[in-house]
Structure 1
Amino acid sequence: MIFLTRKAEFSSSHFYRNPEWSEEENVRRFGKCANVHGHGHNYTLEVTVGGEVDPVTGFVVDLKLLKEILEREVVSIYDHRHLNYEVPEFAHVIPTTENIAVAIWRRLDGKIPNAKLERVRVYEMPDLFADYYGESA
């Protein structure tokens, strides 16, 4: 088994807010991130797949196809969007880095032919990222 990682980038805005809490509690817990107008990040996504190297192509997965899947399933949906308002999976889920990683996994799982999705890593900032390895990890 060998692992291959592909990167993609997208820019999105979001805010942190629990609708069951008061304004004061949201601000206490989330600080400036509770502002309903949101704030933005330039996210970096790393998707790692695993599999056997095809002896004919030398690839675990067709790199062009993997790039197209990331573009279709993630970048075209998340890029230049306000996650809370424009991306359905965050209508009732706070779009933290952790929840974004889980949502991306769910978008990609089972859609990459001849390879197993192993890890989704989402960088919100260069020094802040979340890894998700699926439900069974």
Structure 2
Amino acid sequence: MYKTAIIRKEHFNAAHRLHNPAWDAQKNKNVFGKCNNPHYHGHNYDLEVKIIGIPNKDTGYVMDAKVLSDLIKNQVLDRFDHKNLNIEVEEFKNLNPTAENIARVIYDLLRPYISDDFELRIKLFETQRNIVEYPYL
């Protein structure tokens, strides 16, 4: 059989602040720059969720795209879209919401719902020029 990837693209808007509470204000400013704004800042994130596996012989699907879309909506978009990640999203109460950490959290939210027969990859576009992939293999 042949492995095939299905990719679902989604979009969400969220605010965040990059900040390490163990550091003083100057070190936070030096490391995170304008992303350390105490009043937060926002991004229009683009998300690609990739499922890789062998298509089902009866359906031809790796995974039903509607099922994947609903899963992303329920586990990610409803939780992150139009939210302040630092304040409103439990996963970031003690985790700096960098693009790297956001991608990993999305992976962790989706992985329990995806069969172990499939690989899961997350690609998060924080901007058109800043892109994170998790896991990177």
Superposition deviation, residue 3 in structure 1: 1.3
Structure 1 runs, 4 residues or longer, greater than 6 Å off: none
Using a 3 Å threshold, how does the CA distance of structure 1 residues 36 and 94 change in structure 2: closer, same or farther?
Answer: same
Partner of 1:8: 10
Partner of 1:104: 106
Using a 3 Å threshold, how does the CA distance of structure 1 residues 81 and 14 change in structure 2: closer, same or farther?
Answer: same
The 5 Å alignment of 1:1-137 reads 1-113=3-115, 116-133=118-135, 137=137
Superposition deviation, residue 51 in structure 1: 1.4
Deviations 1:71-128 (A, max 9, x none): 0000000000000001111111110100000000000012024852431111000111
Structure 1 CA distance for aligned equivalents of residues 116 and 95 of structure 2? 31
What stretches of structure 1 of length at least 5 have no aligned partner?
none
Letter in 2 for 1:88: E
The normalised TM-score by structure 2 is 0.92
**1:69 counterpart SS class:** helix
Structure 1 CA distance for aligned equivalents of residues 127 and 76 of structure 2? 18
Task: Output the aligned Cα RMSD.
Answer: 1.5
What stretches of structure 2 of length at least 5 have no aligned partner?
none
**1:36 counterpart SS class:** coil
Deviations 1:16-54 (A, max 9, x none): 110011111111111111112111001011111111112
Letter in 2 for 1:30: F
The normalised TM-score by structure 1 is 0.92
Count residues with an aligned counterpart.
Answer: 135
Sequence identity (%) = 37
